[in-house]
Structure 1
Amino acid sequence: MITLVTGGCGSGKSEYAENLVAGSGCPCKWYVATMEVWGDEDRRKVERHRKQRAGKGFHTIERPRGLNALLIPGSPEQTAVLLECVSNLAANEMFGGETLPDCAPELAGAAGEAVVDGITSLARQAAELVVVTNEVGLDGISYEVETMEYIRLMGWVNQRLAKLADRVVEVVYGIPVVLKENGSAGQGGRI
C-alpha cells in the first residue's frame, strides 16, 4: 500500500506519516531520509525529526538521491518504509553536485523519472510505503528559471505519485484530510 502525505510547511505531515508507519503492524520500520545537510539550520531540523521519531522503532537510511539502487533489508511483507521527503529528493536529483547545472526541461524530466522510479522501487520492497511531499509553488510568485523548473518538476512528480498511491492525505494544521482512498477521490473527510 502506498500512502502519499502532503501539506504545507509546519502542517504536521511528518508526524502524521511517522505515526502511520509506527502503527502499520510491520515489525521492520525504515525511515529513508533524503535531506542533504548543508549547515546548522539543517542539522537542527534533522535532530528535531530524530527526536520526533525516537522510540517508534525506526531504522534510518540516509539517501539523498539514487533511490532506485536502494535495497531495503528484510522481507517486503514485514516491512514498512517512510520516505521523507520528495521535495528534498527532487531537488537533490535535479541540482545534485557542487554547482548548479543548466536547468533545461530535459534535466527536470530526468530528475522526475529518477524520483518516481526510485519510489516505485521502494514500494516493491515494502508492504506499507508512506511518502511525504510538500506543496510548492502555491504563492503565485515568478522565480528564476531554475526555481520555476523545480516547481514544475514537483508538480509533475506529485501528480504521478498521487496516481500511483492507494491513499493521498493532505495534512492541514495537523488535521489529516483524505483526498484519495483505495484509488478513488475522497470526500475531504478526516481520518
Structure 2
Amino acid sequence: MKALFIGGIKSGKSKNAEDFTIKHANKKPYYLATTEFIDDEIAKKIELHKLQREDNFITIEEALNLSEKIKECNEIVLVECLSMWINNMLYHEKSHEEIFYEIDKILSLENSIVFVLNDVGSGIIPENKLAREFIDLSGIIAQKIASKCDEVYHTIAGISTKIK
C-alpha cells in the first residue's frame, strides 16, 4: 500500500499522514525524516514535529538515500517530507536523473509507504531559476508518485480529502 498526502504548507497534511500511518500499522511504524539541520528555524520545526509524533514511531533520519532506508524497514514507513528531500537533492547538486532514479527505486519497493509533499504548484511562476526548478521537479514527482499510489489525499485547513 502506498499513499500520498499533498497540501500547502501548514495545511495539516503531516499530522493527518501520521494518523493514517499509525492506523495502517500492525506494529510501531517508521518515520523517515528527511530534513537537514540548516538553521535555527529548521531546528525548531524539527523539534515541533518530534513533539507532535511523540513516541508513536521509530524515527530514521536520512536526507538523500531514502530507498536504502525504506528497504530496511519491516513495517509501514512515513516519508516526511518529499519536499525537503527534493530541496536536499538540489542543494547537494544531484542531477534530475539521479532524483528520478531514486523516486523510481522507492516506488518499486514492496514496502507500504506514506508520502508527504507540499503542493507548491498553485502559485505564480517565481523569478528565481532555482525556485522554478524546485517547483517543476515537485510537480513532476507529485504526478509520478500519485500515479503509483493506492490512495491520494489533498489537505486544506487540517482536512484531508481523498482524491484517489
TM-score w.r.t. structure 1 length? Answer: 0.79
1:53 aligns with 2:49: no
Paired amino acid for 1:22: I
Paired amino acid for 1:113: Y
* Per-residue deviation, 1:119: 2.6
What is the aligned partner in structure 1 of residue 134 from structure 2? 150
Flag the 1:74–1:148 CA change in 2: closer, same or farther, 3 A: closer
Q: Structure 2: how far apart are the matches of 1:141 and 1:149?
A: 10
1:13 aligns with 2:13: yes
Q: Bigger relative contact order, structure 1 or 2, given CA contacts below 8 A and separation 6+?
A: 2
Instruction: Indicate the RMSD between aligned Cα atoms, in angstroms.
Output: 1.8
Name stretches of at least 5 consecutive residues in structure 2 with no aligned partner: none
- Check the 8 A contact 1:33/1:83 in 2, yes or no: yes
Aligned residues: 164
Q: Structure 2: how far apart are the matches of 1:71 and 1:88?
A: 17
> 2:151 pairs with 163, 167, 184, which one?
167
1:88 aligns with 2:89: no
Q: What is the percent sequence identity of the aligned residues? A: 32
Structure 1 segments of 4 or more deviating over 6 A?
A: none
- Check the 8 A contact 1:7/1:170 in 2, yes or no: yes
What is the aligned partner in structure 2 of residue 189 from structure 1? none
* Counterpart secondary structure, 2:120: coil
Q: Structure 1: how far apart are the matches of 2:21 and 2:49?
A: 15
Q: Structure 1: how far apart are the matches of 2:73 and 2:98?
A: 30
Flag the 1:25–1:139 CA change in 2: closer, same or farther, 3 A: closer
TM-score w.r.t. structure 2 length? Answer: 0.91
From the CA coordinates, give the structure whose radius of gyration is larger: 1
What is the aligned partner in structure 2 of residue 43 from structure 1? 43
